[in-house]
Each structure stands twice: as C-alpha cells, then as structure tokens.
Amino acid sequence: MRDFRTLATVFVAALAIGNFAACDDATEGNTNGGNGGKTDELTGPFACDDFIEDASGRGLPEGFLEGRKDPLAQLVLKPGEDCPTSYAEIMTKLRANDTESCSVDNAKAGISSYVVTETAQLLDMPTNYRVAVTRECDGREEWELFFSLFGVQPDSGLPGNVEVISFDAESKLFNFYVVEGGRWEWHGDSTDMIKPGNEATNRCAACHTAGGLVMKELDTPWVHWEGHLDIPGASELVDANDDLGTKRSGSRMERIVNDGNRAWNPIRMEFWRSQGDVENLIAPLFCHKQVNLDNGADFKDSDMRSVKADFLLDPELKSFGSISIETADYLQALVDTGHSVAGLEDADGEPFRDTVFAFPYPERAKIDTKYVDELEKAGIIDENFVHDVLMVDFTRPLFSEERCALVKFAPTDLEEITVASIKAGFIANLEEKGTDPEGDGLTAAEQMLLDNLSNDEDQDAHETAVDEYWDACAARDKTEFINDTVRVAILKRDLARELHVFEFAATMPQADEVVDISTRFNRFTCELETDDTPGPTTKPEPEPEPEPEPTDPPADPPSDPPSNP
C-alpha cells in the first residue's frame, strides 16, 4: 500500500503542450533573411549561435543551427543580427520574417491562443492561466509551431519565459526549445523524448514521453479548456494582447494535436524498427507512454449518471456503452472518501468535491492507441496479437504492472520483424522461462499471455470474457458499484500524479482515502479485489434453481350419492 497524498502538492512549471526553446540578447533585426519567411538559403554566422545551450544530453554539434530546418530556427534563431530572448521579442521577429500569408498590417494575423486553467471555471472568476499559442503562416499547419506560456495573470502582461515545439517538415520530428531567464536551451527532438531513461534527466522528455504533442484533456468536453464552458477572463486576456492573437476552443486544440501526432507516429515507429528494437517498438501496446483525461459529464451542471465503457475496459476491447448509476450515490461516495479539489473552496467555505466537469479519470492516451494502429497497418502486429496482450489483466486498462512487465519477453535479433516472428519470439521466450528448472516458473500474467498467443482461435473467448465482465458490472447493486468505481478512480488519479505531466494539483480531485495499489475489479464478479483479498479465479457456477416446495396432493372429490332405486 502506498500513500500518494503528498503528490497532490507537486507543482512543476511544465505544460503538456509545448516544450523548450531559448536565445538571448534581443532586438528585432533581419539583415540575413526576411524574404517573406523563406530563409532556407541562410548561411552562418547566425543570430543565436552564441546563445543556445544544450539540454538534450547529447551535446550541440559544431554548426548546430546550420542543420536546424524547423520554422523556429529558420525564422527566429538564424536570421538577423539580434537574438530574441523573450516571448514578446520572438513574436516581433516572426512578424518581420514570417509574413507569407500573414498580413504585416494585422499584429494578430496567424496567431491562435488556447487558454487553460484548473481554477477560474470552478471559482467563476479570473484567476491565473496557461496559454498554448500557435502561429499559422507560410502554409504551415497550425501544429507545426507551438508556444507555451505559464503563470499568466489577468492584468500582469505576458511572461518572457516560453517553451516552444517546432516541427521539422523534412525530418518529421518535433524540436523542443525553451527560453528561460534570457537564455535559450535545446532539449532535443522527438527521438530524444522517447529514449528510455531520458524522462529522468530531460525536462521535456518528462512530459512528452511519446515524442509528440500533449493535450492531457484530449477528449470532449476538454475539462479545464474552453469548449463546453467559457473561462472567466480568457476573452479579456487575449483581446488585450496582440501576441495572443485570436482565442480558440479546446475542440480545435484536440484536432490539431491529433493531426500533429498523426504526422509523427509513423516516424516514431520507423525509428525503433530501424534499430531492430522490438521491445520499444511495441511497448505502447503493453504499457502507457502517455496518459489522457476523460470525464463522466459533459457540462458544468450535468449530473454524473453513468460510468463509461472506457473507464472499465480498453477501448480496443469495448469502445461504447455505459452503466447507469444514481447521481446521489455518486455524490455521497465523494463525501465518504473525502474528495476535494486542492486549495479551492466555494463561497460557503466548503471544498469543491469535483472538477468543473464531474468524474475526471486517466485513460490510455490517444497518441498511443493511434500508434498501435500504425503498427497494425505496417504488418508488425495484428488484431489477434493486440487482443491477446490487452486481455491480460484486462479490468485494468491503465496502470497494469503485470501487463507492462510482459514486454520484456519481446524477441531480439530478428532477421525480419513481422507478426509471425514477433509472436513466435514471445512464445519461445515465455516457454523458456516456464521450463527453466532453476526458475520460479511463469507468473499468472505470463501464463495467460502464453496461453493467448498459443491459441489462434481464442478471439471469441476474449469477446465472451469481456461481455461477461460487463454484464457482471451492470448487474451489480448501483450503490455498491459506484462506491467501488470511485475508489478505483482514486487509485488511477494517484498513479497518474506520479507522472510529471500531471503537475498541477487541481487538475484532478484528490481524496482522503488511500486505495491499495493492487485494487482492481474482479473479471468474473466486477467486485473489488486486491492481491491480499483476491476474488474468484474462475467463473462462478450459477446458483442452482431451488427445488419447488412439496405440496399435499389434492383431496379426492366426494363420490356422487347413490341414486334411489
């Protein structure tokens, strides 16, 4: 059992959208470019040659900027004589150099802002914000140049520090930069983000573990973003700052993040395949690389009336459906478990029990589910393999240590990476462990994966197991079911808070109750179990129909009286 309560107080200045760029000593200037944004032919020395430091861990090569082809490098870091060292100076230089299809007479041209806050919507008043900003000029897609601003106050102007993601259309890699304290840092590109272990030392890799763009709330109604609910003070903030352009909604952010990751995911796949690294190639199927948030209600005043399928199951196994609950039972469960949104109280001094949209919960990130689709399209894995893996510990669609550990059985040194070779390699490695006379044999999860992979005709059985689990959940007493569901949600949130990307305590509610880390729904009964209190390991036999109670036979009817002679 672990106590995650202290994690809720962790605040780290890094948003899930955008990462790191920087320079120094700035004024605008463009003596070495400025041809309508077309700076491909620039040669050094460059404006920011002396102001970029390496934070990637691999060191800046000689002539680093010469090899940068992303729009930030081409339009800001290379041209001119002066190197901007703040967000405002960067935007000023872009207005001078990035003019293709963006009017020089309109300071807001091409700029879109996406405001996010965990507090203003609940308190119904301006508080503080983070803002993701894009600049869409010169035929670029909106996701090709991202800026992230933190600690934005309603009346204090915009901060100078900024994180930047800039997409190199030639290499199809995102580059991660930061301006902080008047200095630039380069934190690497997408391939640096996904290398195991980099998340511990690279500030960007700690959030962008899948190498792409991150929007935590990547599902309608985009809790904490504008969309189904306006953010108090957001319109006034954007209107007052030309460098924020035009205010946009969470729905548009969802689209452009998905579009950007769709461009990166095939490159992500080829990066690992080219190295013959099967384990990292298929790891996102077994274990989360990124996490998104979903929620149980779509509007501020909507009641929590059902539990969605993707809380209980991976969407690959069941993507639609919900189990109805009573709103009053849900609200009582929040009180019973001591729910609160950290640091926030209503007008009566009472803690908010929930975020602005009820029942937020972590789920597998879309960048990972779409990456698995890419693996299938490339013929690296197939649907049977996907289901064979996901059915291991399937009542925990996220944060299953048992399923995560299975990827270590991936084969190595394959001559050709195919569905058949990967499957055969897993089977061989599992069998080798299972028959090792000096070993401990296979764990239950390992045995299940071996059984699944060894049976090519088990897809109907998988579907039946999912249906039976779903039916068991739907058949439960509603009050008991939502009480258990809330406790599973507590555990999922606590585990998510261990991830650097969940850096703000008010993103999700916290609870006083501590839930055992091994807590999960039993696959046969849908009741909670832990390692110490396991439920049934086989499908319970149905209760026999009771025998009917014996009854006395009916009395013989009286005989007719004899007739008179």
Model-level pTM? 0.88
Stretch 61-68: mean pLDDT: 89
From the list 128, 115, 301, the residue with the least C-alpha distance to 217 is 115
Give the chain's mean pLDDT.
89
Confidence (pLDDT) at 44: 77
From the list 257, 267, 150, the residue with the least C-alpha distance to 214 is 257
Segment 25-39, tens digit of pLDDT: 233 333 333 333 444
DSSP annotation string for 407-419: GGG---S-SS--H
Residue 141: strand, helix, or coil: coil
Segment 203-216, tens digit of pLDDT: 899 999 999 999 99
Which single residue is written with the structure tokens 């690279």? 202
From the list 43, 18, 50, the residue with the least C-alpha distance to 187 is 18
**559 band by pLDDT with thresholds 50, 70 and 90:** low
Cβ partners under 8 Å of residue 457, min gap 6: none
How many whole angstroms separate alpha carbon 134 and alpha carbon 143? Answer: 7
Cβ–Cβ under 8 Å, residues 21 and 94 = no
How many whole angstroms separate alpha carbon 110 and alpha carbon 310? Answer: 37
Segment 410-427, tens digit of pLDDT: 999 999 999 999 999 999
Measured in Å, how far apart are the chain's first and last C-alpha atoms? Answer: 97
**503 band by pLDDT with thresholds 50, 70 and 90:** confident
Name which residue leads in pLDDT, 448 or 220. 448
DSSP H helices, 337-458, are: 366-377, 383-390, 401-404, 419-434, 444-454
DSSP H helices, 437-477, are: 444-454, 459-475
From the list 316, 61, 65, the residue with the least C-alpha distance to 166 is 65
How many whole angstroms separate alpha carbon 496 and alpha carbon 8? Answer: 10
**22 band by pLDDT with thresholds 50, 70 and 90:** very low
- 514: number of Cβ within 10 Å: 15
Cβ partners under 8 Å of residue 221, min gap 6: 227, 228, 229, 250, 295, 298, 299, 357
Cβ–Cβ under 8 Å, residues 390 and 376 = no
Cβ–Cβ under 8 Å, residues 507 and 12 = no
Stretch 107-119: mean pLDDT: 95
Q: Structure tokens of 120?
A: 């203003």
537 burial via Cβ count (<10 Å: 0-12, 13-18, 19+)? exposed
Ranking 2-6, 61-65, 361-365, 543-547 by mean pLDDT, the lowest is 2-6
From the list 384, 463, 373, 460, the residue with the least C-alpha distance to 420 is 384
How many whole angstroms separate alpha carbon 525 and alpha carbon 540? Answer: 8
